[in-house]
Amino acid sequence: MGTATLTIDRDAIIANWRALDAATDPQTETAAVVKADGYGLGVAEVAQVLARAGARSFFVAVAEEGVAVRRALGVGPTISVFSGHMVGDTELLRDHDLIPLLNSGEQAARHRDGLPGHPFGIQLDTGMNRLGMEPEEWAYLRGWLLGEGPTLIMSHLACADTPDHAQNAAQLRAFRDMTEGVSAPRSVAATGGTLLGTEYHFDLVRPGVGLYGGAPFYDAQPVVTLSLPVIQVRDLNPGESVGYGATWVAGRASKVATVSGGYADGLIRAKSNRATLWAGDTPCPLIGRVSMDLITVDVTDLDEVPASLDILGPHQGVDMLAEAAGTIGYEILTALGARYHRRYIGGAP
Ligand SMILES: *Cc1c(COP(=O)(O)O)cnc(C)c1O
């Protein structure tokens, strides 16, 4: 088989959800964020395994993603949409029982006119300046919207992956000020906020990346293994070069493996000459440029070249690979290609 295999450990996802759930008090609900195709791992399988772990509330970025989650989970679980009620969303929200998190007065008016009586939540901006109602707008709309009984009032922290960043406490204060006396359930914490401590938990925490083994949940169990098949191996003389632009030149007699997987599969080009693959316990440097479908690896020091090399596995998780490429684990995960064969292990009910 020419395509690489992405193995997803459902038991690890369950363990990560339960560990974050255990970090919160019993009265705090632990939800699950499954946007961007379940952080690249396959939204249907990921949502189902998280439901089995115990999650009852799910969050997506846009309504179309919510439809996929509803199809995977059936009726029952709550599915909320961060982008709120956009033009064209009305039928999707209604037909698939999705809850928009209203971000502005404009969205609130659209929701009232398009779906009167349909549940909604509210997103407040407490300082990230990305999504949500600003304090003045909220002060103006609050009486009306609270009278309608929102399902959730939430905000998002900009710096939760940096525990001692002053903005965490500032946003917490702003959220408390903006929601004083409110009886609706409240939420500010994603993965980072969940790990900041119970004062950030309120009624519901909404981790995403930590469920899939990424920082800032450093104690997470690794979820993904990515094995790239070796297509061919060749011997090089000193002075011969490898790949586009001839950016790597053999300094010794070398053995080079060409493996299946490239930037079209999310192995971003910034990994050129920087990342490491693994043959079991032996590291093998990625050499030359990443091309669309292929990468090249120095396997000179291996006694025997295996049928495939791992780029994600026990020796290198998403964050380590991200560091080699100058990015973050989130981007490594969500870039994982559509071409991979996704294989799900564990997760027996
Ligand atoms: C993506 C997102 C989350 C989940 O964030 P993680 O850092 O992946 O845990 C939570 N809330 C909002 C508003 C988001 O956009």
What is the full DSSP assignment across 144-172?
Answer: HHHHT--S-EE---SSTTSTT-HHHHHHH
Confidence of residue 271 (pLDDT cuts 50, 70, 90): confident
Average pLDDT over residues 137-164: 97
Is 131:165 a contact under the CB 8 Å cutoff?
no
**Angle CA(262)–CA(265)–CA(271) in degrees, nearest 5?**
50
- Using a 6 Å cutoff on CB, does residue 101 contact ligand 1? no
Is 157:189 a contact under the CB 8 Å cutoff?
yes
Equal CATH topology for 10-212 and 224-345: no
- Residue range 156-205, pLDDT digits in tens: 999 999 999 999 999 999 999 999 999 999 999 999 999 999 999 999 99
- 61 has a pLDDT exceeding 90: yes
- Using a 6 Å cutoff on CB, does residue 190 contact ligand 1? yes
Task: Calculate how far, in angstroms, residue 155's C-alpha sits from the geometric centre of ligand 1.
Answer: 10
pLDDT (0 to 100) of residue 220:
97
Average pLDDT over residues 336-341: 93
pLDDT (0 to 100) of residue 348:
78
- Using a 6 Å cutoff on CB, does residue 33 contact ligand 1? yes
Task: Calculate how far, in angstroms, residue 88's C-alpha sits from the geometric centre of ligand 1.
Answer: 24
pLDDT (0 to 100) of residue 52:
97
- Using a 6 Å cutoff on CB, does residue 263 contact ligand 1? no
Residue to mutate, 156, 194, 195, 330, ligand 1, most ligand atoms under 8 Å from C-beta: 156
The residue contributing the CA closest to ligand 1 atom 3 is 190
**CA end-to-end span of the chain, whole Å?**
30
Ligand 1 atom showing the smallest separation from residue 210 Cα? 9
Task: Calculate how far, in angstroms, residue 196's C-alpha sits from the geometric centre of ligand 1.
Answer: 14
Return the percentage of the chain with pLDDT > 90, whole number: 97
Ligand 1 atom showing the smallest separation from residue 214 Cα? 8
Average pLDDT over residues 60-84: 98
Active site residues: 35, 244
The CATH number that domain 224-345 falls under is 2.40.37.10
Average pLDDT over residues 254-283: 95
- 206 has a pLDDT exceeding 90: yes
pLDDT (0 to 100) of residue 316:
94
Give the separation between CA 37 and CA 68, rounded to whole angstroms: 9
Mean per-residue pLDDT over the chain, rounded: 97
Average pLDDT over residues 148-152: 98
pLDDT (0 to 100) of residue 113:
98
Average pLDDT over residues 86-101: 98
pLDDT (0 to 100) of residue 269:
92
Structure token digits, residue 322: 């991200």
- Using a 6 Å cutoff on CB, does residue 207 contact ligand 1? yes
Burial 114-142 (b: 16+ CB within 10 A, else e): ebeebbbbbbbbbbeeebbbeeebbeebb
Average pLDDT over residues 75-88: 98
CA distances from 33 to 14, 30, 145, 183, 226 (A): 14, 10, 25, 24, 22
- 349 has a pLDDT exceeding 90: no
Confidence of residue 80 (pLDDT cuts 50, 70, 90): very high
Confidence of residue 313 (pLDDT cuts 50, 70, 90): very high
- 81 has a pLDDT exceeding 80: yes
Is 227:7 a contact under the CB 8 Å cutoff?
yes
Instruction: Give pTM, 2 decimals.
Output: 0.97
Radius of gyration over every alpha carbon of the chain, rounded to an integer in angstroms: 23
What are the residue ranges spanned by the domains of the chain?
A: 10-212, 224-345
10-212: CATH superfamily: Alanine racemase (3.20.20.10)
Give the separation between CA 160 and CA 169, rounded to whole angstroms: 10
Task: Calculate how far, in angstroms, residue 189's C-alpha sits from the geometric centre of ligand 1.
Answer: 8
Confidence of residue 1 (pLDDT cuts 50, 70, 90): confident
Q: Which residues contact 122 (CB under 8 A, 6 or more apart)?
A: 101, 102, 133, 138, 145, 150, 152, 153, 154, 184
Task: Calculate how far, in angstroms, residue 73's C-alpha sits from the geometric centre of ligand 1.
Answer: 20
3-class state of residue 12 by DSSP: helix
Mean pLDDT is lowest, of 96-110, 187-201, 238-252, 266-280, for 266-280
pLDDT (0 to 100) of residue 257:
98
- 248 has a pLDDT exceeding 80: yes
Residue to mutate, 59, 101, 129, ligand 1, most ligand atoms under 8 Å from C-beta: 59
Average pLDDT over residues 204-222: 97
